[in-house]
Structure 1
């Protein structure tokens, strides 16, 4: 009877990087929370420095963990079974990210279609708008906060239009998905020039997106009066666009790492799951932006 053949399954040694990543995320959460509170209250504190320390530690973690994974892959330690595990893991990770953004879109939906109409007198709730302030209008975006109504009775902020920078950023991300797809095609067809040039262009488009988003935030604060203090509209606007911007930043870092590996010839047409995983993540980020552009900016 022939002996059964089993594939090897590489189990890596214990790593310090998960705990380093957990500490980094903790510092980012604490630092970001304190920084926002300090900014809105014109206080000077340590929130910004804690946030920067967390981001620096996160970059160190990403660098170290990526290096270990690349070394393991190039040493031939991985098998087909481990490759399937990687695919399942990446699929579940993206699913968790979908749920992450669905929670924020759900909060936006609840505020727009349930809370604000209810405050305006829907569902036989005729007295609530009178309790808030005289002349309350249950419209979206809600540009007047209670403080504005009490002091001036006029809106203190303006809605961010979908034209201009948001529209340009939408075009940039859609174009980046196209360039990344054809970079992948170049990898599968062993067209190195196509791979390197289009992957570099994708990274450039992602970087331009981030620069324009910073300009959009400056415009929101300086010209529109749209801040984190601008009620539920300002909160949901910066929550959704800010977290998406963080994902674009992470995606751009991943693509830069992939570009370095492509330049070193790490991938082959049959063995390039790391490139596929980066592509999945980038396309997911693009799809989220299209939904965000439609529900936050246009509707």
Structure 2
């Protein structure tokens, strides 16, 4: 590649993958609508077809981006655009979790105390549910969903916190090893990160089983149950996606991808994983302990 071409912004060729992705999303949404609104939906084949098309798009599109990157087609401007895109993506994820943390804060700080009689000028307690005591955690007036018990924060949640903190360390060590061009150490520490993430998910599944089977803490257990499972469930989904992403970059490192001076694909996954770890610290403090 000539020096002049390196100064030019890389414009990708006409790609079919955006159209394929749009078709996949449309089919998925239509399948979900049919599943939710049909009296006899039968096998949700349209929903599965939509998922299959989206997966095909992801494999195809990501594969082309990887090939273009390994062919050294991207210059500094493209690298900057990738970084800005990842920053905005993580910002959108911050807003996503911020909405759920905001719902938890509003319910705990305002709604429940109002129902319990605070702010008597509104007469909320007398009008809506006379005699209700606004204590947290709560399943709401009328013991919606039945009585429940809390998960001990210093058992499985504490173990999971230590696992994710350790995984942040291992992926950071892997990053430093890659920058030092030590591929064997990079691979070892990436595998360790994936294992820690998998163990985290195993213990979270154990926690959910305990909550439903022994504690009667379910998604229907009032405002506490709904916020608990929404926050921890979506976080678990992000850990799953992050572990898949780390597995993919591990395979890429094994195949000789990434260079010490150019490896944004690796960095983007590391940024995402650190974000997931920070969200868990917030969950551990505000959902389990406080």
TM-score by length of 2: 0.87
- Which of the numbers 58, 62, 71 marks the counterpart of 1:75? 71
Q: Contact (CA 8 Å) 1:28, 1:55: kept in 2 or not?
A: no
Q: Shift of residue 17 of structure 1?
A: 3.5
Aligned to 2:103: 107
Matched ranges for 1:169-184 at <5 A: 169-184=160-175
Structure 1 stretches of 4+ with a deviation exceeding 6 A read: 32-35, 47-51
Is 1:164 the counterpart of 2:160? The answer is: no
Compared CA separation, residues 24 and 244, structure 1 to 2 (3 A): farther
What RMSD in Å do the two structures reach over aligned CA positions?
3.0
Judging changes above 3 Å, is the alpha-carbon distance between structure 1 residues 213 and 84 closer, same or farther for their aligned structure 2 residues?
same
Q: Determine which of 191, 198, 203 is the counterpart of 1:200.
A: 191
Query: 2: CA distance between counterparts of 1:93 and 1:138?
Result: 38
1:196 and 1:169, CA in 2 relative to 1: closer, same or farther beyond 3 A?
A: same
For residue 271 of structure 2, the aligned residue among 280, 289, 292 is 280
Contact 1:254 1:278 survives alignment (8 Å):
yes
Matched ranges for 1:127-166 at <5 A: 127-133=123-129, 135-146=131-142, 148=144, 155-166=146-157
Out of 81, 86, 90, the position equivalent to 1:85 is: 81
Cα distance, 1:14 vs structure 2: 3.8
Whether 2:243 is the aligned partner of 1:252: answer: yes
Structure 1 residue 118: deviation in Å? 0.8
Match of 2:9 in 1: 9
Aligned counterparts of 1:53 and 1:121: Cα–Cα separation in 2: 52
The change in CA–CA distance for 1:247 and 1:268 in structure 2 (over 3 A counts) is same
Q: Report the equivalent of 1:123.
A: 119
**Distance in 1 between residues matched to 2:5 and 2:68, nearest whole Å:** 23
Aligned length: 286
8 Å Cα contact 1:179-1:202 kept in structure 2: yes
In structure 2, the partner of 1:60 is: 56
User: Does structure 1 conserve the Cα–Cα contact (< 8 Å) formed by 2:21 and 2:54?
Assistant: yes
- Gaps (5+ residues) in structure 2? none
Q: Secondary structure at the match of 2:214?
A: helix
Could you tell me which runs of 5 or more consecutive residues in structure 1 were left unpaired when the two chains were aligned.
Answer: 38-42, 150-154
Quickly say closer, same or farther: Cα 1:24–1:132, change in 2 above 3 A.
farther
Distance verdict in 2 for CA 1:172–1:24, change over 3 Å = farther
TM-score, length basis structure 1:
0.84
Which is further off, 84-93 or 126-135?
Answer: 126-135
Counterpart Cα distance in 1 of 2:263 and 2:149? 47
Cα gap change, 1:12/1:111 in structure 2, threshold over 3 Å: closer, same or farther? same
Q: Report the Cα offset of residue 64 of structure 1.
A: 2.1
Q: Distance in 1 between matches of 2:43 and 2:118?
A: 41
Deviation string 1:32-89 (CA, Å, 9 cap, x unpaired) is: 9978x9xxxxx99669877666555444333222211101111221111111111111
24 and 205 in structure 1: CA distance in 2 versus 1, 3 angstrom threshold: farther
Cα pair 2:31 2:44 within 8 Å, conserved = no
CA contact (8 A) 2:144 2:220 kept: no
Over 3 Å counting, the alpha-carbon distance change for 1:16 and 1:188 in structure 2 is same
Q: Distance in 2 between matches of 1:29 and 1:210?
A: 31
Q: Distance in 2 between matches of 1:250 and 1:295?
A: 23
Moved more, 120-129 or 279-288: 120-129
For residues 185-240 of structure 1, the C-alpha deviation after alignment (integer angstroms, 9 at most, x for no partner) is: 10011222210100000011111111221221111111111112111111101111
Q: Check conservation: 2:31, 2:50, Cα contact below 8 A.
A: no
